[in-house]
Structure 1
Amino acid sequence: MYQQTVPLILASKSPRRQELMQLMELDFKVVLKEVDESYPDHLSPSDIACYIAEKKAKAFVEERLNSLVITADTIVAYNGEILGKPGDAAHAREMLTKLSGTTHQVYTGVSLAYRDKLETFYDVTEVCFRKLSSEEIEHYINKYNPFDKAGSYGIQDWLGYIAVEKITGSYTNVMGLPTEKLYHALSNF
C-alpha cells in the first residue's frame, strides 16, 4: 500500500484530475504554472503526452526540492491526428463530428518529479463512439464546456453517458489521470 512520506503537489488546474486524486485518498495541494504545451511534430501520440507532462514537471524546479510534483497531459488521437482542446464552438463541432461513429485513442502522460528524479509513464485507452446526430453535438457544445477538454468531450459527463459504446483500457485515463498506474508508480517511486 502506498505510504505518503513527502508532500504531494498536483500541477494541474483540471477539476477532474483533482477529484481523482481526492478519490485516491491522496493528500496534495494544487500549484499552477503556465507552461508552453507545444511539441515537436515528429512525435507519436504517446510521446507527445509524455513530452508535455515532462515539460510541465521541469517547470517546478524549486517545488521539487521538498515535494513530489505530479504533472499530466491528455491527448486524443484519431487516425493519426491529434485532437487537442478546441479553440471555439466550430472547432469542437468539427472534432465531435470526426469522433462520431468511430473509435479513437486517449493518451495520458504522467510525470513524477522529486528533487533530481523524474519518472514518466503513459496509458492509452480506446474509446468507441456511436454515431451522433448534429442535434446531440450542438446540445453538448451549448450546454457543456468542451473547451477545456482534449477531443472536445468529457467521458464523465453527458456525452460520455450517451455516446460511448465501449472502452478498452482505463476509464480514469480518459478522464485525464490513469489512477491505477499512478498509484503503482507512487508506490514504487
Structure 2
Amino acid sequence: MPLMLASTSRYRRELLERLRVPFHIARPEVDETVLASESVADMATRLARAKAEAIARQHPGTWVIGSDQAAELDGQPLGKPGHREAAIAQLAAMSGRQVRFHTAACLVRDGETLDAQDVTTVRFRSLSAAEIERYVDAEQPFDCAGSFKSEGLGIALFDAIESSDPTALVGLPLIAVSRMLREAGFDLP
C-alpha cells in the first residue's frame, strides 16, 4: 500500500524509517496560525489532520501521515524559536518548570481518518544563563519546539521526562503511528 509522510522534517522522517515501511515525503502547505481560544492540544491535532488531508487530496488512494507538535507553558503555545535569542529566551522561561508537549499524528486516506495524541511532560532543571547559552551554541536547536533536542545534548537540561511514548517528544509518536498503520492494513511486527 502506498504511504506518504506529510512533512519534510528530518526528525519525523528518521523516526518513520524505524518502522521499515516504504514511504514518500511531501511538503504540506498549511496555515499554522493559532486560532482564537484554541487549546494547544487542539491546535496540534488540527494541524496534524490538516497536513495529512492536504497531501491526501493530491494523492487519492494513498495513506498519508500528518503530525504536529506544540509545546505548552502556562497554557500558552511555544513555537520553534528560529534564532539564538529566541531559543535562549524560551529556555530561560522554562528553567525550573514543567512544559507539556502535545504531539499529534493523523493517518488519512480518501476520507478515512485515524488520529492520536501523546502528551509528554518535561521537567527542566534550574538552568543558569551560562548553561543555556552553552547549550544553544552547541546544538543550535532553532527548528525545535521548546528550543532543545532531547535525542541529543538537550537531555542534560532535564530533571525528568514523563511520556507514554519516548518518540513523541522527538516529533512523531511511533507507538500510536504503528497502531494506526496496523489498523489501516500495514504489516508491522
Q: Same fold, TM exceeding 0.5?
A: yes
Alignment of 1:122-161 (within 5 A): 122-160=117-155
3-state SS of the aligned residue for 1:106? strand
Runs of 4+ in structure 1 off by over 3 angstroms are: none
Q: Tell me the TM-score normalised to structure 1 length.
A: 0.90
Q: Which residue of 1 aligns with 2:159?
A: 165
3-state SS of the aligned residue for 2:30? coil
Structure 2 residues without counterparts, runs of 5 or longer? 185-189
Alignment of 1:51-62 (within 5 A): 51-60=46-55, 61-62=57-58
What letter matches 2:18 in structure 1?
A: L
**1: distance between equivalents of 2:126 and 2:95?**
5
**2: distance between equivalents of 1:107 and 1:176?**
9
- Count of matched residue pairs: 182
Alignment of 1:1-189 (within 5 A): 6-60=1-55, 61-63=57-59, 65-160=60-155, 162-169=156-163, 170-189=165-184
**1: distance between equivalents of 2:103 and 2:62?**
22
How much has 1:178 moved relative to structure 2? 0.8
Cα-to-partner distance string for 1:73-108 (whole Å, 9 max, x where unaligned):
001111111101113222111110111111111111
**2: distance between equivalents of 1:102 and 1:127?**
8
**2: distance between equivalents of 1:180 and 1:117?**
20
**2: distance between equivalents of 1:129 and 1:49?**
22
What letter matches 1:62 in structure 2?
A: Q
What letter matches 1:185 in structure 2?
A: M
**1: distance between equivalents of 2:137 and 2:161?**
25
How much has 1:42 moved relative to structure 2? 1.0
- Decide whether the 8 Å contact of 1:78 with 1:104 is kept in 2: yes
- Decide whether the 8 Å contact of 1:39 with 1:52 is kept in 2: no
Superposed CA RMSD: 1.3
Structure 1 residues without counterparts, runs of 5 or longer? 1-5
Q: Tell me the TM-score normalised to structure 2 length.
A: 0.90
Q: Which residue of 1 aligns with 2:187?
A: none
How much has 1:57 moved relative to structure 2? 1.8
Q: Percent identity?
A: 33
Cα-to-partner distance string for 1:102-127 (whole Å, 9 max, x where unaligned):
11111111111111212222110111
What letter matches 2:121 in structure 1?
A: E
